[in-house]
Amino acid sequence: MNRPTTRSEELLTRAQQIVPGGVNSPVRAFRAVGGTPRFMASGQGAWLTDVDGSRYVDLVCSWGPMILGHAHPHVLDAVRQAAARGFSFGTPSPGEVLLAEEIIARVEPVEQIRLVSSGTEATMSAIRLARGFTGRTLVVKFAGCYHGHVDSLLAAAGSGVATLALPDSAGVPAQAAAETIVLPFNDIAALETAFAERGEQIAAVITEAAAGNMGVVPPAPGFTAALRTLTSRHGALLISDEVMTGFRCSRSGWFGLEGPTTDGAPDLFTFGKVMGGGFPAAAFGGRADIMAMLAPQGPVYQAGTLSGNPVAAAAGLATLQACTDEVYAHLASVSRVIADAASAELSAAGVAHRVQWAGSMFSIFFRENEVRNYDDARDQDTAAFGRFFHAMLDQGVHLPPSAFESWFVSAAHDDAAVEAVLAALPAAARAAADPGRSAP
Ligand SMILES: *Cc1c(COP(=O)(O)O)cnc(C)c1O
């Protein structure tokens, strides 16, 4: 029961003439799963409608931002009102203050914050700030963690590059890579060694608060605490990248679930995705003494024509305000129902798999054993995922088109949407079990 893809194919062909690969962000191209990416015409609640008229339950949710579902009336209203007042002023405007206050109220260690336009900009700026504050150069990151496409952070950067089987990106100067120490996630011994050898040169450790870009891999017990203890001991900063987990795993992100360690909270946080409500808004923030280093107060330069854009800020604020305790409870129960059902069907079909969680974020690895790091994540049956993905898509459920991604639900995933997902699972699990069945 293949769905028509004529219009998507036409658009893809046109796009490929003028846009590299036909897409503006690589994972959208379906390279990992094959077939034609669906061009979406509209989204409403939990559903997307493609240009050929097919409807899909959306389990991508724009890779996280659409936590309330598409075109949520409260957010739409806020966007309309903000847009009617003008699109961008290049001056401070009230919405920026409200959004910053909302974020600071939710994430206790964040004393000051600056708004930017993408998660990449947030991590890039946080790294520059950490280097300016410490006067050091080296940055530690973990393999499989993605922090946007910042030169120095593209080494072993998880989903996008993993999907394309690129070891790293071309065009990143060797010097930029040399300033980055890449360690295995959840490996405290490797971290101790790195600090013992080069501790006085390390400006910062950046980590995904809970990894979501190699599939979902939460920090093992004691890992976050070790990060905090070692960075503090050696005078380095700890940057918690909550671009994906922020305001998603709980009202205060992953930090809200794990809390500060005995040695304290991270020094800096980065945010994006949910806090923009589907518009380009992101942020970095943390300790006031560190943030004071930023221009115009201090010597670390950072700026943006559209930073704190009034329409994006209004969308973000309206989204966060609507993210109530009931919304988080709903995300938890819906994600549990979907993951449990998927797991049961995969088991019934005899497909090796493993479900992993960070709050309501989850992913299904097509392997038997726990995934603790990037090497584990890559050791899975991605072909089985591809068959599973396409069987779901044919039945009107749009999963992330890669085995290295989290699945996302929204407040709008109601009984009808969940039922549609559950109905599609048995056939998809059988397809995953059947290597004879080729992907398109
Ligand atoms: C998505 C993501 C980024 C990059 O954000 P963009 O807005 O795509 O630049 C950075 N860090 C993490 C953890 C992310 O999930």
Q: How far is CA 407 from the centre of its chain?
A: 10
Q: What is the DSSP string of 345-413?
A: HHHHTT---EEEEETTEEEEESSSS---SHHHHHSS-HHHHHHHHHHHHHTTEE--SSTTS-B---TT-
**Arithmetic mean of pLDDT over the chain:** 95
Distance 425 CA to ligand 1 centre (A): 29
Which atom of ligand 1 lies closest to the CA of 213?
A: 15
- Spell out, as residue ranges, where the chain has pLDDT lower than 50: 164-167
Q: Is the CB of 39 under 6 A from ligand 1?
A: no
Residue type, 103: I
Q: Give the integer Cα–Cα distance in Å for 98 and 81.
A: 15
Residue 374 has a pLDDT of: 96
Q: Tell me the best of 239, 243, 254, 405 to mutate to test the pocket of ligand 1, counting ligand atoms within 8 Å of each CB and taking the most.
A: 243
Which atom of ligand 1 lies closest to the CA of 118?
A: 7
Distance 275 CA to ligand 1 centre (A): 12
Q: Give the pTM.
A: 0.96
Q: Is the CB of 144 under 6 A from ligand 1?
A: no
Q: Give the integer Cα–Cα distance in Å for 167 and 177.
A: 12
Residue 171 has a pLDDT of: 85
Torsion angles phi and psi, residue 15, rounded to 5: -65, -40
Distance 284 CA to ligand 1 centre (A): 12
47-50 β-sheet, strand order:
40-44, 47-50, 55-58, 397-398
Q: Tell me the best of 213, 240, 271, 361 to mutate to test the pocket of ligand 1, counting ligand atoms within 8 Å of each CB and taking the most.
A: 213
Question: Any idea which residues carry the catalytic annotation?
Answer: 146, 241, 273
HSE of 181, CA atoms in CB hemisphere, 13 A = 19
Distance 243 CA to ligand 1 centre (A): 5
Q: What is the DSSP string of 335-349?
A: HHHHHHHHHHHHHHT
Torsion angles phi and psi, residue 385, rounded to 5: -60, -45
Q: Whose CA is nearest to atom 6 of ligand 1?
A: 119
Residue 231 has a pLDDT of: 98
Distance 122 CA to ligand 1 centre (A): 9
HSE of 229, CA atoms in CB hemisphere, 13 A = 10
Q: Is the CB of 208 under 6 A from ligand 1?
A: yes
Q: Give the integer Cα–Cα distance in Å for 314 and 294.
A: 24
Q: What b-and-e string marks burial along 264-302, b requiring 16 or more CB atoms within 10 Å of the CB? A: ebbbbbbbbbbbbbbbbbbbbbbbeebbebbeeeeebeb
Torsion angles phi and psi, residue 91, rounded to 5: -130, 165
Q: Which residues pair with 362 in a beta bridge?
A: 357, 407
Q: Is 174 left (phi over 0), alpha (psi -120 to 50) or beta?
A: alpha
Q: Tell me the best of 61, 63, 120, 153 to mutate to test the pocket of ligand 1, counting ligand atoms within 8 Å of each CB and taking the most.
A: 120
